[in-house]
Structure 1
Amino acid sequence: MHLLFLLLGLLCSVLQAQEVSVTNKVTGIIGEEVILPCTFTNTDPYMRMTEIMWMHGSITLAVYSPVLGIHLRDPLRFQLVEPSQSSATLKISPVTYTDEGEYVCEVTTFPGGPVKATTTMVVKVLQAQEVSVTNKVTGIIGEEVTLPCTFTNMDPSLRVTQIMWMHGSITLAVYSPVLGIYLSDAMRFQLVEPSQSGATLKISPVTYTDEGEYVCEVITFPGGTFKGTTTMMVIAIPQNSAEANSSVVAGDQEQAVARCKSANGRPPSRITWHLSIPGNVSNSMINNSNGTYTVVSQYLITPTWLADGMTITCIINDEFTNDSIPLNLSVQLWMDLHSPPPFG
């Protein structure tokens, strides 16, 4: 039994004495170069590395032996970078889509046997030309908004001949390195520092008609056209208010005891009420000429003297905040001829 524990301890120390280290995941770009590191850690002075082998699936790509030298399946694409007793980094160039998958770096030792580690490679395509825009922007009515557009060009033989911003079928702004700048409305549209690498569109002041999709189109020679699309949402910050009706008289007829108003907002606000006394709600909405909305809500109850002094809360939800406005109800037992008209 003592001998068994001794052998198990020796085996564990041997297993811990050797380790193969690789990068778990790497990304290869089609047409470019990728490096797959593999290092071998050996703390056992009696253990010798006899071979390091790289495999992709069942295919042997590269082998290094301190005695026999290097074998490469395809020397035009695969290389071992400075192989030694402690490492054999695999270099693949150029990367193709068939290179995707798992790679095993296997180190064979004497007398320990093989030790392995696995790297997974993902292969991607790098666009040599790309138009970058902000997918979604928000414009506030009456204020300024910018729509960035940058053009990444990895091909030195490619030249930008024109950059154009369009809103639907309408051309808003055009930049040409040769002919200069065109603006459909120079009072509202500007191109910020246009160049071969981009042209940011500035709109000021924003109106509700500016809502929708914008296309930044980059025309190149001889590469053709590249596009990016930005969607703009136009909003307006509402002015919220609420007031209690100071002319409510107790009786058996339903009356409006409070009013809540959210004016000149976009999109229209949503108004709800919180009160322990059940009642009815009357809502109305006005479409303003500038694309904003005014929402008015009234809370109606059949008032009794028990409602006098109670708190009612108007809750306004819009794109910016949840606005809660508490009000104190006023219910008179009889008509006061000197009371102000309802709602001021």
Structure 2
Amino acid sequence: MKINFTHKLKILHPFFYVVALCFLSTKAEEDNTDLRFATQPTHQTAVLGSTVVLPCRVIPRDGTVQWTRDGFGLGTIRRLDGFDRYSMIGSNEEGDFSLKISPVTLEDDSEYQCQVSSKKGPKLRSRVARLTVFVPPESPSISPSPEVSATAGVNVTIKCESIGGRPAPELSLRFL
């Protein structure tokens, strides 16, 4: 019996299709971890000397997590060497790698990003979050004194100032 070559392929085609489908399905399950951010950092403000937490939660927990400040990698361990005021807090099991900064200084006024290097896929990067550090100004001073007597029609100069502050303070006078 002589079998036509094209006929032979037609007979084997369904078998190859099933084998190929099983292989591709298994390969896809191995490569696709569906790695994503459950929580990403957002822009925040903090007062000088306070504590701030930038959230980062990755699911499923896979790969190595690192925070960057202005594009510079801060490290991959929870207690960040060389950055004593920085630490990654949260639970490894839950994929929580939030960045805690305490106490906040002017140096921390920067852009931050949470990054994950997955073992099975491309690097995952959160949105960039801007941390703006505010500095309270000194109490305002009024001169010549807080209470000024004036006579109608006579000009009086009153000086009100507040030193420091970020952003610069806005002052206004109110007359009673």
Displacement of 1:263 in angstroms is 2.8
User: Contact 1:194–1:200 at 8 Å: present in 2 too?
Assistant: no
Say what the alpha-carbon RMSD is for the aligned residues. 2.9
Partner of 2:102: 204
1:243 aligns with 2:149: no
1:193 aligns with 2:78: no
Unaligned runs of 5+ in 1: 1-126, 154-158, 176-180, 274-312, 314-325, 328-344
Change (3 A) 1:173 1:203: farther
Partner of 2:162: 262
- Normalising by structure 1, what TM-score? 0.35
Secondary structure class of the residue paired with 1:271: coil
1:72-221 alignment runs, 5 A limit: 128-131=34-37, 132-153=39-60, 160-175=62-77, 181=78, 183-195=80-92, 197-221=95-119
Displacement of 1:129 in angstroms is 2.6
User: Contact 1:173–1:189 at 8 Å: present in 2 too?
Assistant: no
Q: Which protein shows a greater Rg? A: 1
| Distance in 2 (alpha carbons) for counterparts of 1:160 and 1:174 | 13
- Normalized per residue, which structure has more helix? 2
Displacement of 1:211 in angstroms is 1.3
| Distance in 2 (alpha carbons) for counterparts of 1:169 and 1:200 | 17
Change (3 A) 1:256 1:188: farther
Which structure exhibits the higher relative contact order, with contacts defined as CA atoms closer than 8 Å and separated by 6 or more residues?
Answer: 2
| Distance in 1 (alpha carbons) for counterparts of 2:59 and 2:119 | 14
Unaligned runs of 5+ in 2: 1-32
1:292-311 alignment runs, 5 A limit: none
Q: For residue 226 of structure 1, what is the amino acid of its counterpart?
A: L
Q: For residue 174 of structure 1, what is the amino acid of its counterpart?
A: T
Displacement of 1:238 in angstroms is 2.2
- Normalising by structure 2, what TM-score? 0.64
- Normalized per residue, which structure has more strand? 1
Displacement of 1:240 in angstroms is 2.9
**Percentage of matched positions with identical amino acids:** 26
Q: For residue 224 of structure 1, what is the amino acid of its counterpart?
A: P
Secondary structure class of the residue paired with 2:107: helix
User: Contact 2:79–2:86 at 8 Å: present in 1 too?
Assistant: no
| Distance in 1 (alpha carbons) for counterparts of 2:85 and 2:114 | 17
- Equivalent residue pairs, number: 135
Q: For residue 265 of structure 1, what is the amino acid of its counterpart?
A: G
